[in-house]
Amino acid sequence: MAAKASSRGVFIRETIEVARRYGFDGVDLDWEFPQNPKQMGDFGFLLKEWSHAIQMEAKITKGLLYCSLSLCTTRRIS
């Protein structure tokens, strides 16, 4: 999902929509075991784009969503 900008966009829009619909304060993102540096980079793009989207959305709703995240890797990625 994170490898393509279009898929990231859909994910971001839908997480914001679900959070607002059900009255959540935010979203918890959990990516376990990225396999390579590209996946780590894609995760970075996802976080940057999600952060931008929630900031823009907050200007309309007057309420900022929160994001907690975790990343787990079993080995060092160089």
18 — alpha (psi -120 to 50), left (phi > 0) or beta? alpha
- Find the catalytic residue in 14, 17, 32, 57: 32
Write down the residue that tokens 């979203």 correspond to.
27
Task: Please indicate whether residue 32 is annotated as part of the active site.
Answer: yes
Active site residues: 32
